Structure 1
């Protein structure tokens, strides 16, 4: 019997405030409104932004229903939905793409003005379909994925091929695609150019994958974890720098491999104190650094001279990836197994053991933790 018009009670990972423990509790998920879809989540994964959300970023609204990476199946749709139906496999996206607003048609940015990045923890109508013990639940961005069910506005969903690997689809819903897009859409790496990628988690490995696809001649991975060398090479890295085994600065180590520095630097760490190093690792006059990492320090100490010598520092959300036109291309490549995404899948936990995921992330061999619903 269909539950399309009923409130569903299900399990979800909840945090009640900064510094509070994450608990798995029964929550209530309302039916979708006219332009919304209720989704049964099948598989989720952990992104660094999920950790930041526990510390009050990008908003400080609690109680918080966690998670933003994942893939699920349509359980029911609102009355005005015509492009999705029960049983469709979808990826929730934290950005929308109307294809008609000034930003969308400009070709200059992926930040849609009609369906913007949601940073208040609520639906586009500024309400929530989730509650716990009678209290409104907020989500990290456009939805929550560490929940058995969730309601998402249709403009923040991408339908994908049912043959796609569920865990791999979860990885491309945010992290991997962010790095991939940073090289593909933001840096627009040229054939024969040189690229340095700082931080070899899922985002950094996505950047390496795109740099290889774009034809970069030298792809330098920079990390303090020696175990990331093998991962980087699997995605196309040509050189590896372990910053823990040298007293030299990271930018000097990059210049030792390139002479004058790289053409492009992709910053995937969010370490504020390192931003001058990221920029100075690029060539004077033409070097370009794309900042995609987000840490807990939102004020960046920065050496102005690094920019005054003609280099460029560009901020990026989701690596410049558009939620429909670009992410669908990445999803097709994922479905065709064009990326070695199995290299990212290092650990798995059930939703009820979500706190184990945070401990696993501290292990040197951990890249992505998959959450089975």
Structure 2
């Protein structure tokens, strides 16, 4: 029985308020409007940005919401004006859109998009409009995607069509973390062959950054984390050394400077803590070091001494790994299918939507890299 043009009732994990468990509810998902795509989510994964909104940022106007923004699914129906997609297409929704028409999309200097800025509010971290309701109340769509739901509606500028051969329960994690970390090394830092790198934080984003440094030809890749259990996993992705800041009685930036005869060529901060951002910057060699902020936070300010930059260091920000989202995700899926990119190795747990709070707990307690939630068979 066709659902096209009809309201769909389905299960979703609703975050009614901050710092509380999400609740499995029946929600109503309206048909897609102009330039929108309704997607049946096959698989989604839990990213730290979901936890950030729920437990750290906790903006009161950002609730109720359906979290989730790393996912893959199948197009169920399309709204007026959509020509790029049709029912049955395998797709990945992305939190950072690419309209391909604005001055930012046409510029090789950035992966930002003017249309994306107008569609997702950076105050509530949700779409300015929502196709979700639950118990008669409007429910926000987190980052314009909301993938902890069996169905979601996304603007066509934030959906990328992928190879139909791609296993959705694997490539779903390319919707955020892997592209963010990998691209930070390859696209933003532009790591050079023979260089020395330091990656701070070994979650999925950090491990992807390690992999990016390796693929870019770095000779020495120092993985930094306060959890020594992550050392062996970092080596799987290309780390040559591991340093735990807790094992030293001096600041970690001093440790790295001493280890590398003045500092690393490139450092990537993949934690989202301002004190780590400063440490990553100061671990770079003064004359030409490049440090990239990859971790997401908007809670605290970061402060550095001007001399940390005056001698020649470069400090850069990075969103979604510098990938123009629709193009970049499709390219990464292709690389995975050609066995040029590790993806499976990031997935440590598989669960169902009913277990979403357990999956959130694993991420909160740093007991996983990526947990994939299966919502429906392909």
TM over 0.5: yes
SS at match of 1:158: strand
8 Å contact kept, 2:199–2:269: yes
8 Å contact kept, 1:168–1:334: no
Change (3 A) 1:296 1:100: closer
Q: Which moved more, 1:260-269 or 1:350-359?
A: 350-359
Change (3 A) 1:9 1:161: same
Q: CA RMSD in A?
A: 1.8
* C-alpha distance in 1 between matches for 2:125 and 2:304: 31
Q: Is 1:153 aligned to residue 155 of structure 2? A: yes
Residue by residue over 1:152-210, the C-alpha shift from the partner in whole angstroms, topping out at 9 and shown as x without a partner, is 11111011112223233121110011011111111111111111110011101111111
Partner of 1:195: 197
Aligned-residue offset at 1:122? 4.9
Partner of 2:294: 292
Q: Is 1:143 aligned to residue 155 of structure 2? A: no
Partner of 2:262: 260
Q: What TM-score comes out, normalization by structure 1 length? A: 0.94
* C-alpha distance in 1 between matches for 2:83 and 2:279: 50
Change (3 A) 1:58 1:105: farther
Q: In the TM superposition, what are the counterparts of 1:58-137 in structure 2 within 5 Å?
A: 60-116=61-117, 118-119=120-121, 120=124, 122-123=126-127, 126-137=128-139
* C-alpha distance in 1 between matches for 2:56 and 2:299: 12
Residue by residue over 1:240-261, the C-alpha shift from the partner in whole angstroms, topping out at 9 and shown as x without a partner, is 1122222222112222331111
Q: Which moved more, 1:250-259 or 1:275-284?
A: 250-259
Q: Which moved more, 1:283-292 or 1:108-117?
A: 108-117
8 Å contact kept, 1:165–1:335: no
8 Å contact kept, 2:269–2:276: no
Residue by residue over 1:61-96, the C-alpha shift from the partner in whole angstroms, topping out at 9 and shown as x without a partner, is 211111111001111111322221111110001112
Q: Is 1:360 aligned to residue 366 of structure 2? A: no
* C-alpha distance in 2 between matches for 1:251 and 1:121: 33
Query: What are the ranges of 5 or more consecutive residues in structure 2 without an aligned counterpart?
Result: none
User: Which of residues 180, 183, 187 is equivalent to 1:181?
Assistant: 183
Partner of 2:216: 214
Q: Which moved more, 1:140-149 or 1:287-296?
A: 287-296
Partner of 2:46: 46
Aligned-residue offset at 1:364? 5.1
Change (3 A) 1:227 1:177: same
* C-alpha distance in 2 between matches for 1:158 and 1:364: 30
Query: What are the ranges of 5 or more consecutive residues in structure 1 without an aligned counterpart?
Result: none
Aligned-residue offset at 1:16? 1.4
